[in-house]
Amino acid sequence: MHKYITANDLKTKGVSLIEEETSEYGEAVITVRGKAKYIVISVERYNELREYELDAAIKESRKAIEDGDYIKESVEEHVKRITRG
C-alpha cells in the first residue's frame, strides 16, 4: 500500500509531509494532476534495491560465463563490433 502525496501538497508542506507519509510504509507516491508520477523512498531502501539489482547482474554475468555466452576481444575489436550499426 502506498500513501499518495499531491504535487500541490508537496509544494506547500515540503519535506515534513514526505517524512509523515513515508513513516508507515517507507514509501509514498507523488501525483501530478491526479496521475502517479514519482515514488519517494528512503536512501536506505534505495541502496537496498540497488544492491538487489547489482546482485542479479552479477548472477546473470556468472551464468553467462558458465554457459560460455561471452566474447573475448580487444577494446578496439569491441568498439568496432558495437558501432557497426
Q: What CATH number has the domain bearing residue 35?
A: 3.40.1620.10
- Write down the H helix ranges in 1-85: 7-13, 15-25, 43-66, 75-82
Q: φ, ψ for residue 74 (rounded to 5)?
A: -75, 170
pLDDT 10s per residue in the chain (85 long)? Answer: 678 999 999 999 989 999 988 888 889 999 999 999 999 999 999 999 999 999 999 999 999 999 999 999 999 999 999 998 5
Q: Do 75 and 50 reside in the same domain of the chain?
A: yes
Alpha carbons 32 and 38: distance in angstroms, whole number: 9
Residue 1: its pLDDT value, please?
67
> What domain range is 75 assigned to?
44-82
> Is 34 in the same domain as 54?
no
**Total of domains in the chain:** 2
Residues 48, 36: one domain? Answer: no
Residue 26 to residue 7: CA distance in whole angstroms? 18
Instruction: Say yes or no: 7 and 37 in one domain.
Output: yes
51 and 37 share one domain: no
User: Are residue 37 and residue 48 in the same domain, yes or no?
Assistant: no
Q: How far apart are alpha carbons 9 and 66 in whole angstroms?
A: 52
